[in-house]
Amino acid sequence: MLAEVVEKYGIEPKSVVRHLKKNWSIITELRKPWGVMLNIRQIENLKILEVTEEDFEVALSYSKKYGLLSNDAIHVATMTQHGITNIATKHFLSTRKNLC
């Protein structure tokens, strides 16, 4: 989504989120994110998991203990609850091993 805004509107990458918050209607004009979301639904063995209140509590403790951002902490908490030990990511798990 952010890359499309940079490409389509010439916004500097560091300013995209702020720009979208002020100009939220732009989001309805984007096309790439929706195509990606539709493609994700086509993955045969994909299971979409529910995030529970307990996951939020666990996420809070992981965030404090490991210095994780809230989204990353929710991912780790949900993984822990469901016995998931591996995910494909470009971010936090490569630098914070053995969280799950």
Q: What is the pLDDT of residues 25-57, one digit of tens each?
A: 988 888 888 888 888 888 888 888 889 999 999
Round the CA-based radius of gyration of the chain to a whole number and report it: 17
Question: Both tokens of residue 72?
Answer: 């990353």
| pTM over cut 0.75 | no
Instruction: Quickly state the pLDDT bin for 2 (edges 50, 70, 90).
Output: confident
Higher pLDDT, 94 or 16: 16
Amino acid, single-letter form, for residue 99: L
Q: What is the pLDDT of residue 98?
A: 58
d(CA 46, CA 51): 16
Q: Which amino acid is at 55?
A: D
The burial of 72, by beta-carbon neighbours within 10 Å (0-12 exposed, 13-18 middle, 19 or more buried), is given as buried
